[in-house]
Structure 1
Amino acid sequence: MKKYLLCLSAFLIAAAVKAQQGKAPRPNVIFIYTDDMGRGMLSDYGQQIVQTPNIDRLARGGMRFDNIYGSMYCAPARASMLTGYSDVRKGKFTLNRAGIYINYLQGKLTLPEVDERLAPFEQSEHPGMVLPQVFKKAGYVTGEIGKLEWGFATSRRQMAAHGWDYYYGYLDHRMCHGFYPMVMFENGEPVHIAGNTRPDSYPDSAALRNGKDKPQYAEHLFMDKARRFIVSNKDKPFFLYYPTNLPHGPVSVPAIDPVFAGNPQLTERQKMYATMVKMVDDNVGTFVRLVDSLGLSKNTLIIFGSDNGHWLYYEGRQARYDNITTRLYSDDGVDIFNGNNGLAGIKETNWEGGVRVPFICYWPGKVPAGVVNRDLVANYDLLSTMADLLQVQVPDRKDGRSYLPSLLGKKSATRDKVVFSSFMGPALVTRDGWKLRTYLLDNKNIFQLYHLPTDYREMKDLSAQYPQKVDSLKRELTKACDGQLQNGIFYFSRLPATEFFHAERAEVLQNK
């Protein structure tokens, strides 16, 4: 009998182990999504003035993606990342207008009226599963803390429909960048912040002079809530999406960090900007130490990324470039920080500096340490990768592709191309490094071809040398943009990333 029980016990243990092996891994996931963080602002990418040791620790203890593309500015980047669709697709998401919550704060609208006016932009308009719903389906607690989730204004009903168990932060883009919010929203309820008096979230200098409540800085509020969320959910799988609005301008900090205060090389605005970047790094360190202290480090995937490329908030008047034969290089004396690491262009452009972003995944014991991954990856691949990790079936066909095997150190086939929008026109990059960029402003239909592995700075246009390559990539780009071919001319509808600003422009790809 005793022998029988021992055999039965061994059988049950083996069965339990086998069943456990068949289950999806359930790591906690913390996604720190910075705003306008050019890759050159991180010391692991070569930044000299601002040191970012905590982000460097993630890169050296995890995997740094060197060939990943975001969007050309924040709103389409977030929508694309959350939906798993490229920002050139038709009918996959819509970017609305900002400012409606300013009307609420000024007493012109009630919150129910705000919800009603935002109704056309809610979940019913966006087909398929979105990122927090992937985690919900896998049994996770989901939280978003920081900048608004989607577009330029987000309704409370949409936050609930998208699967957020908890959220705290802004719901309107007009309130995001003053850093001293009059109101934050916590699970649908407005929370008034003592000391902050302006609807646009700028500090009230008159209140400061009159000795009233000290203004409260948004990033400090976010970090307090993020710590509370992690601690309160430490015993269950959680997904924390932390879209900070740093280091997006205008430059504003409670105080310049002592590291930069006495630097004669920097102006006051540059010191403030450097402080904003250092604050991001300090907060990454806070996340890592908190996870370690709770004994969660081996079961927590920390992801660090950015929505788009760099922007020069701290510089004076910028030189003009035609973005056809001339383009900005941040290391040509225009930018003291070289925030785009020598790439061409900045945010809002389809040059590499506008869309190549930093991206790091850190999961001790699971993600190989110190690996620079050169696979071609897109911002909109994250949803598919998380669904693959958690073995969640996504009902609709996304544009994203899972890079999970590569992330875990296994060989994988990378995607064959990435497409993205800009205010100049869309662009396409292939797996072997060919890039077709367009310039469609001012009734121009210009196509330029670059080979990125041999031309990091996009200085040599090869379109005249390889016309057949240009023609084939035009066709691929038009198809990716849901376009069509008629009488030798490629047409596609206004891109969702640009229609908000340029609704009057028709983008035409002409087969010349």
Structure 2
Amino acid sequence: MSTQIQAAPNNDRPNVILIFADDLGPGLLGCYGQQVIRTPNIDRLATEGIRFTNYYGGVYCAPSRWTLLTGMHDGRIGGWAQTRPGLPIQRDSGRITQQEYERRFAALKANANPIAENEVFLAQIAQRAGFETAQFGKLDRGFLTWHQRVKRFGWDFYEGYFDHQRCHGFYPPYLWRNGQRFELPGNTRADCGKTSEKGDEPVGYGGQTYSQNVFIEGIVKFIRQNRDRRFFLYHPTQLPHGPVSIPELHPDFSDAPNLSLAEKKYASMVKMLDEHVGRIMHELKIQGLDENTIVFFTSDNGHELYYGPKDDYRAQRLPDGKPANLTDRKWRTAQHGDVFNGAGGRAGLKRSGYQGGMQCPMIARWPGKIAAGTETSLLSSHYDFLPTLADLVGQNRPAGKDGISYLPTLLGKEQTERHDHIFVFNRFATMGSSALIANDGFKLVEAQRDQGVFQLYNIAEDNEERFDLASRYPDKVQHMKKIMQQESNSPRPDLLLAQP
């Protein structure tokens, strides 16, 4: 846990860019072993920077983004609430009146997590250092939000979606920019043109303006406009979250004989993500910002399969139609036939407490500061990004946060501050529940929540979680269970301490 630390004076603070992919497993990137989809721009970040191999997000979008924005693990009491999505779609499609929308929206706001006066969020760290802060895409936690809340989180500028369910379509009739609604030409559907699970266009489909193209143009414009001042830019992209949707197939896959149409579309989404990373890097070079900008790339959680057999993305079920859950029922690439091996051989997918559900890529590039082509097995998580950002921009770290700063590791210095463990909470009981990853390489998985089924793995040697060691090390299991119980639904120390 972070204590309040006085940052050293820094007259050479870099711009900071964080690209946050959606449902992208490590195995989808060339630098993590991808064999079918080429990702040269993201791979370049790793070739010219550092690649993490023991990095964790959440098990799905909302808790993962909450940990990033707060610097706290997702098992804390009152940490995050998953507000019911889709209210704007109901209004825009005529299913409810504006008056009913306002009534329900007010109720949702009242039930959303209250924000303590002394709570400090990610963007506020950079804002206090005089940085211009901006986010483009799936705003904040990804679920229902609104202008005042986004501003409270510390964003000077934002552009994107206010509602999680609208994010599942890539052709929204409108988006939000600093409290103002702006229309996207040619897009007509209230559900934002969400495709079917097979990637089919919906009946009455109307879509001409692809949201990700809007965001990349906005990002490039923001970089140009802020070339003479420090900035923190956060891009929570929709890519490659499904159902699959892309304006056109990438030439790499349009004639691929061994891929289904859904697989071609999905691969094209990953290619677009990679090309947008390249576009950002190119703009930094043009503006003379390349060497004084640190670029991070990660994903919210592990891989999700949106292109399974018969183009059915509900791949958490095994070929016999029954759910994947216990040791002999884990989802695995070889068993289910994921042509892209997005989980990189790990067990489980998104929502799972196994490695495939929570282990994420993390790459950082900062020319002249981060040694090119380096790799680290430092145990780290999304909730470490906030204290790391504080050190980067020269701000005191807020007291009581769960995260640590991994800036020393980035700079090739001794990492004296380390986690004893990482905790990931999981409310999904049937696919591997909460997990505790210890610094000695062991991981405890509550395989079925509230059923007393625990599994122990030595992921330092068995990252695919094939060998359950619980019966061999019962004392280890009991020790880690005690820590897991302490972390689950624990109070928030950052709100109990006065902040600077």
Q: What TM-score, normalized to structure 1?
A: 0.86
Matches within 5 A, 1:165-204: 165-202=156-193
Aligned residue number for residue 54 of structure 2: 67
**8 Å contact from structure 1 (residues 246, 277) kept in 2:** yes
Partners of 2:128 and 2:76 in 1: CA distance: 26
Greater shift, 276-285 or 319-328, is seen at 319-328
Question: Shift of the alpha carbon at 1:182?
Answer: 1.2
Describe the SS at the equivalent of 2:115.
Answer: helix
Aligned residue number for residue 508 of structure 1: none
The answer as to 2:349 corresponding to 1:343 is no
Question: Shift of the alpha carbon at 1:89?
Answer: 1.2
**8 Å contact from structure 1 (residues 25, 389) kept in 2:** no
Query: Which of these residues, 275, 282, 289, is aligned with residue 282 of structure 1?
Result: 275
Aligned residue number for residue 242 of structure 2: 249
Higher relative contact order by CA 8 Å / sep ≥ 6: 1 or 2? 2
- Cα distance change, pair 482–126 in 1 and its aligned pair in 2 (3 A): farther
Greater shift, 244-253 or 472-481, is seen at 472-481
**8 Å contact from structure 1 (residues 32, 305) kept in 2:** yes
Query: Which of these residues, 210, 225, 232, is aligned with residue 225 of structure 2?
Result: 232
Aligned residue number for residue 252 of structure 2: 259
Letter in 2 for 1:265: N
Partners of 1:93 and 1:457 in 2: CA distance: 30
Question: Shift of the alpha carbon at 1:403?
Answer: 0.7
Matches within 5 A, 1:427-446: 427-441=435-449, 444-446=451-453
Question: Shift of the alpha carbon at 1:78?
Answer: 0.7
Query: Which of these residues, 75, 78, 89, is aligned with residue 102 of structure 1?
Result: 89
Question: Shift of the alpha carbon at 1:330?
Answer: 1.6
- Cα distance change, pair 330–206 in 1 and its aligned pair in 2 (3 A): closer
Letter in 2 for 1:76: P
**8 Å contact from structure 1 (residues 250, 313) kept in 2:** yes
Describe the SS at the equivalent of 1:361.
Answer: strand
Describe the SS at the equivalent of 1:176.
Answer: helix
Unaligned runs of 5+ in 2: 1-7, 195-200, 492-500
The answer as to 2:425 corresponding to 1:421 is yes
- Please report the RMSD computed on the Cα atoms of aligned residues, expressed in angstroms: 2.1
**8 Å contact from structure 1 (residues 92, 127) kept in 2:** no
Describe the SS at the equivalent of 2:327.
Answer: coil
**8 Å contact from structure 1 (residues 331, 341) kept in 2:** no
Per-residue CA deviations over 1:394-443 (Å, capped at 9, x if unaligned) read 444111111111111101132111010221321100111100000234x5
Per-residue CA deviations over 1:4-56 (Å, capped at 9, x if unaligned) read xxxxxxxxxxxxxxxxx933542111111000001000011111110000001
Describe the SS at the equivalent of 1:447.
Answer: strand
Partners of 1:428 and 1:206 in 2: CA distance: 45
Aligned residue number for residue 164 of structure 1: 155
- Cα distance change, pair 73–80 in 1 and its aligned pair in 2 (3 A): same
Query: Which of these residues, 367, 379, 382, is aligned with residue 379 of structure 1?
Result: 382
Percent identity of paired positions between Structure 1 and Structure 2 = 40
Matches within 5 A, 1:256-335: 256-316=249-309, 318=315, 319=318, 320=322, 321-335=324-338
**8 Å contact from structure 1 (residues 123, 161) kept in 2:** no
**8 Å contact from structure 1 (residues 128, 395) kept in 2:** no
More helix by percentage = 1
Say how many residue pairs are matched. 460
Describe the SS at the equivalent of 2:405.
Answer: coil
Per-residue CA deviations over 1:435-469 (Å, capped at 9, x if unaligned) read 0000234x521011111122121111111111111
**8 Å contact from structure 1 (residues 96, 151) kept in 2:** no
Query: Which of these residues, 481, 488, 499, is aligned with residue 481 of structure 1?
Result: 488
Unaligned runs of 5+ in 1: 1-20, 484-491, 493-512
Partners of 1:120 and 1:140 in 2: CA distance: 32
Query: Which of these residues, 109, 133, 158, is aligned with residue 118 of structure 1?
Result: 109
Per-residue CA deviations over 1:239-269 (Å, capped at 9, x if unaligned) read 1100000000000111111110111110010
Aligned residue number for residue 5 of structure 1: none
- Cα distance change, pair 123–139 in 1 and its aligned pair in 2 (3 A): farther
Indicate the structure (1 or 2) with the bigger Cα radius of gyration: 1
**8 Å contact from structure 2 (residues 61, 141) kept in 1:** no
Describe the SS at the equivalent of 1:89.
Answer: coil
Question: Shift of the alpha carbon at 1:102?
Answer: 2.1
Question: Shift of the alpha carbon at 1:123?
Answer: 5.8
Per-residue CA deviations over 1:52-96 (Å, capped at 9, x if unaligned) read 000010001001011000000011111111011101111233222
**8 Å contact from structure 1 (residues 308, 354) kept in 2:** yes
